[in-house]
Amino acid sequence: MAIERFSKDHEWIRVDGGIGTVGITDHAQGQLGDVVFVEVPEVGRKAKAGEAVAVVESVKAASDVFAPVSGEVVEANGELASNFALVNEDAEGKAWFFKIKIADPGELDKLMDRAAYEAFVKEDS
């Protein structure tokens, strides 16, 4: 069964078999508004937890997408390059940004589950 966690920077990660699929939360895309550009990381890139590895730009702002855990990017979502609107349509599904081979599964313990994330978002607004 996949483990789902959230960062304070509004990324989600779903982990299955040591690989984490990462994207931005529905809350984050709602704050950004209409997405006009996405840049995903290159396969093979190594990232530390909290490091900016991708970019999402909207009509309102540009924002970095951070790696919620350390590891190596093993896949990038090429569909986002030609279909930016996917982020607004399905932020927590088809609009994932990259997949990362997790270097230290213990880092997942520093992230929030959905209930904690939803409480965090309510406090923040």
Whether residue 15 contacts residue 30, with contact meaning beta carbons closer than 8 Å, is answered with: no
> pLDDT tens across 56-89, in order?
999 999 999 999 999 999 999 999 988 999 999 9
What letter does residue 41 receive in the DSSP assignment? Answer: P
Q: pLDDT tens across 14-62, in order?
A: 999 999 999 999 999 999 999 999 999 999 999 999 999 999 999 999 9
Helix residue ranges per DSSP H, 64-113:
79-82, 86-89
3-124 CATH = 2.40.50.100
Query: Chain centroid to CA 24: how far?
Result: 4
Tell me what pLDDT residue 81 has.
84
pLDDT given at position 17 = 93
Terminus-to-terminus CA distance in the chain, angstroms? 32
Q: Which two tokens stand for residue 75?
A: 């896949």
Alpha carbon distance 95, 86 (integer Å):
6
Whether the pTM exceeds 0.85: the reply is: yes
Residue-wise pLDDT for 88-117, tens only, equals 999 999 999 999 999 999 999 999 999 999
For 3-22, letters b (16+ CB in 10 Å) and e give ebbbbebbbbbbbeeeebbb
User: Residue 1: what pLDDT?
Assistant: 67
In which band, very low, low, confident or very high, does the pLDDT at 2 lie, cut at 50, 70 and 90?
Answer: confident
